[in-house]
Structure 1
Amino acid sequence: MALAEVFLPIALAIIMFGLGLSLTVADFRRVVAYPKATLIALLCQILLLPAVCFGLVLLFGLPPALAVGMMLLAASPGGTTANLYSHLFGGDVALNVTLTAINSVLAVVTLPLVTNLSLSYFAADSGTLGLQFDKTLQVVAIVLVPVAIGMAVRAALPAFAERMSTPVKIASAVILAVVIAGVLLQELDNLGGYIRSAGLVTLVFSVLSLTVGYWVPRLAKIERSQAIASCMEIGIHNATLSIAVALTLLNNNQMAVPAATYGVLMFFTAAAAGFLLRSRTAQPVSGPAA
């Protein structure tokens, strides 16, 4: 699809550049300040969520393309929207920024790994080769290079970086909306079937991601604000990255459907989780899991 091949990488590059504009080297160093919270959140993101998603895919009996799309979504790092939601609902935003920074780097390894394992398991007979070395390098290019450029601009021109924050977000949202609309129009005949197949599983996955993100840290006695930050970071995935990999690197529209569906649903599930967590603030806490 020409629209996706041309404009989606541009949208993703703008989004990742915008992420870089919000990061500094200190955000990577800050992991020393939150070692336990960071480690638990990363383990949930890298190990627990793909395992949960794999179980859901088997439980719902998804066809191979949608199954791989779900696993691709599970392997994607947190999105920048997590920082906003965390701020709105009392999370530790500094921890969010740290997790986003680290996750974006780790995704260069984890995303191709999970994608290739998923293709081997679910779509071994499809003839899809997966993310070979050259395509893995493309993941590096579309994830890390724009982030590095954004960080360099932030370091050299902090005032400019602040001014560009909103325009960059608006530009990326507009381009992304056009691309997703184009994909959905191209798959219009199959859209009803995709929604029936992927709508419920993406909703359940979103709810479970948010639940895992909050309760695992709380059970590990992580303080509440950091657990909320973890909830938003783990519960709000970078759906744009999943769509980009599916459409441009794997050249498969169906694999992009779960991420496109999730990209709409997550705003509502994350907001609902945020309001529920905020309502608990007024309640007395008893024990680490409260």
Structure 2
Amino acid sequence: MNLTQLILLALKVSIVLAVFALGLGARLKDITYLFRHPRQLVRSLLSMYIIMPLVVGAIVAAFNLYPAVEIALIALSLSPIPPILPKKQLKAGGEEDYTFGLLVAMSLLAIVFAPLMIKLLDRAFGRTDKIPPVVVAQIVLSTVLVWLAIGITVRYLLPAFAQRIAKPISVVASVLMLVSLLPILFTARSAIASLIGNGTIIVIVVFVLIGLAAGHLLGGPNPHHRTVLALSTATRHPGVAIAIAHTNFPEQKLALAAILLYLLISGVVTIPYLKSRKSTVVI
């Protein structure tokens, strides 16, 4: 195993540990929340899998972007919530039932909606490629659903033990992720720099801001739900996005760099929103 493979393995392990830690603190009624509240489910689906792909279609039509950036935005608009996001949402005032429910529901729906929406958006490029649902399903299952279920099972069988180990595992996951991402970003720095210009940064900022606005407006009357849906709409699963980009556009080697650039920019752009929600939402 070379250094690159070791770094990628560490990144995958960090995601698994983060989801497992979330599962240790989740309840079954939390993860089924949206399926018991269909109106909120429809609003969430509209925000994440209808509005954002349409926004990307409009952006691609309006701007002469690098092909890798176009592909990255399309892939991101069709990806579910990253498994590390719920921790940030809860800190920002999100409620556990909707936060975990959205993670599970949107991950499941991605298996259906990603292939359907990509078929429509691909026509703008004169392509007929399809995303096999198994591509999305494998990533969602291996990084989210399975480990979330294991964590919930441990919580159910050994609640005291689950409560004791949840925080240490979460800390280890965060440290491991940081250690893994830094070498990846350092290695890809030249590729990322090559994409800066031609409106790339402006477009990514617009994408994130529209995601925040759409989620906030469609989150409903509950301010906690607004916060969670806003962050979820603006921030997507990079693993699924990379798989979508690689499966449909394997010749675009810079798509990974574009997704990494999006992660950096979205992290900065969402800071003011997070601060504003912490000051206005009573936890």
8 Å CA contact retained: 1:68, 1:122: no
Structure 2 residue 39 is matched with structure 1 residue 40: no
8 Å CA contact retained: 2:212, 2:231: yes
Identical-pair percentage: 22
Scaled by the length of structure 1, the TM-score of the pair is 0.75
Distance in 2 between residues matched to 1:16 and 1:247, nearest whole Å: 24
Structure 2 residue 273 is matched with structure 1 residue 270: no
Change in Cα spacing, 1:243 to 1:277, as seen in structure 2 (3 Å) is: same
Q: Which moved more, 1:64-73 or 1:134-143?
A: 134-143
Scaled by the length of structure 2, the TM-score of the pair is 0.77
Distance in 2 between residues matched to 1:22 and 1:190, nearest whole Å: 39
Match of 1:225? 224
Matches within 5 A, 1:122-133: 122=125, 124=127, 131-132=131-132
Q: Give the root-mean-square deviation of aligned CA atoms.
A: 3.6
Distance in 1 between residues matched to 2:248 and 2:180, nearest whole Å: 15
Secondary structure at the counterpart of residue 196 of structure 1: coil
Distance in 1 between residues matched to 2:16 and 2:240, nearest whole Å: 10
Match of 2:195? 194
Distance in 2 between residues matched to 1:98 and 1:217, nearest whole Å: 13
Structure 2 residue 179 is matched with structure 1 residue 182: no
In the TM superposition, residue 87 of structure 1 has moved relative to its aligned partner by 4.0
Q: Deviations over 1:197-220 (max 9, x none)?
A: 5433222211111111112345xx
Structure 2 residue 28 is matched with structure 1 residue 29: no
Q: Which moved more, 1:32-41 or 1:237-246?
A: 237-246
Secondary structure at the counterpart of residue 196 of structure 2: helix
Matches within 5 A, 1:215-254: 215-217=217-219, 222-243=221-242, 253-254=253-254
Matches within 5 A, 1:65-84: 65-80=68-83, 82-84=85-87
Distance in 2 between residues matched to 1:223 and 1:148, nearest whole Å: 27
Match of 1:255? 255
Match of 2:65? 62
Change in Cα spacing, 1:116 to 1:139, as seen in structure 2 (3 Å) is: farther
8 Å CA contact retained: 2:212, 2:230: yes
Secondary structure at the counterpart of residue 267 of structure 2: helix
Q: Which amino acid aligns with 2:208?
A: S
Distance in 2 between residues matched to 1:182 and 1:244, nearest whole Å: 20
8 Å CA contact retained: 1:79, 1:237: yes
Match of 1:286? none
Distance in 2 between residues matched to 1:151 and 1:253, nearest whole Å: 38
Unaligned runs of 5+ in 1: 283-290
Structure 2 residue 171 is matched with structure 1 residue 164: no
Change in Cα spacing, 1:141 to 1:36, as seen in structure 2 (3 Å) is: closer
Distance in 2 between residues matched to 1:124 and 1:63, nearest whole Å: 17
Match of 1:153? 154
Structure 2 residue 102 is matched with structure 1 residue 99: yes
Secondary structure at the counterpart of residue 274 of structure 1: helix
Secondary structure at the counterpart of residue 172 of structure 1: helix
Match of 1:285? none
Distance in 2 between residues matched to 1:209 and 1:98, nearest whole Å: 19
Secondary structure at the counterpart of residue 271 of structure 2: helix
Change in Cα spacing, 1:147 to 1:253, as seen in structure 2 (3 Å) is: farther
Q: How many residues align?
A: 276
Distance in 1 between residues matched to 2:70 and 2:98, nearest whole Å: 31
Q: Deviations over 1:132-189 (max 9, x none)?
A: 4653453244243333323322322333333333333333334433443333333333
Q: Which amino acid aligns with 1:18?
A: A
Change in Cα spacing, 1:254 to 1:116, as seen in structure 2 (3 Å) is: farther
